[in-house]
Amino acid sequence: METTKEKVFAGTKFNGITMLIFNFLFLFAIVALFIFAIDKMIANPTSVCGISCLVLSILLFVVNTMFWIGFMQIEPNEARVLVFFGKYRGTVKDDGFFWVNPFYAKKRLTLRARNLDVEPIKVNDKKGNPIMIGQVLVWHVVDTYKASFEIDNSSSVKLATSPQTDNVTDKMKAYENFVKVQSDAALRQVAGLYAYDTLEGEDEKLTLRSGGEEISNLLEKQLNERLSIAGIEIVEARVNYLAYAPEIAAVMLRRQQADAIISAREKIVDGAVGMVKMAIDKLSEQGVVDLDDTKKAAMVSNLMVVLCSDEPAQPIINSGTLYN
Nearest to 60 by CA among 39, 41, 32, 85: 32
Domain extent for 254: 250-308
Q: Same domain for 259 and 149?
A: no
Stretch 266-272: mean pLDDT: 77
pLDDT at residue 111 above 90?
yes
**What is the number of domains present in the chain?**
3
**What's the mean pLDDT when you consider all of the chain?**
82
Q: Same domain for 179 and 202?
A: yes
- Does any domain span residue 315? no
pLDDT at residue 291 above 50?
yes
Query: Which residues are CB-neighbours of 319 under 8 A, at least 6 positions away?
Result: none
- Does any domain span residue 317? no
User: Measured between alpha carbons, how far is 185 from 205 in angstroms, rounded to an integer?
Assistant: 24
Q: Same domain for 102 and 163?
A: no
pLDDT of residue 212: 76
Longest dimension (CA), the chain: 149
- Does any domain span residue 322? no
- Does any domain span residue 172? yes
Stretch 8-20: mean pLDDT: 92
Highest averaged pLDDT of the listed ranges 60-69, 259-268, 306-315: 60-69
User: Measured between alpha carbons, how far is 241 from 121 in angstroms, rounded to an integer?
Assistant: 10
pLDDT at residue 264 above 60?
yes
CATH number at residue 228: 3.30.479.30
- Does any domain span residue 126? yes
pLDDT at residue 169 above 60?
yes
Query: Which residues are CB-neighbours of 203 under 8 A, at least 6 positions away?
Result: none
pLDDT at residue 83 above 50?
yes
- Does any domain span residue 102? yes
Highest averaged pLDDT of the listed ranges 191-195, 224-228, 240-244, 283-287: 224-228
- Does any domain span residue 139? yes
Q: Same domain for 195 and 256?
A: no
Stretch 161-180: mean pLDDT: 71
pTM over 0.85: no
Q: Same domain for 131 and 201?
A: yes
Q: Same domain for 120 and 240?
A: yes
User: Measured between alpha carbons, how far is 202 from 303 in angstroms, rounded to an integer?
Assistant: 35
User: Measured between alpha carbons, how far is 181 from 230 in angstroms, rounded to an integer?
Assistant: 13
- Does any domain span residue 298? yes
pLDDT at residue 194 above 70?
yes
C-alpha distances out from residue 24 to 17, 29, 96, 304, Å: 11, 9, 20, 99
Q: Same domain for 213 and 271?
A: no
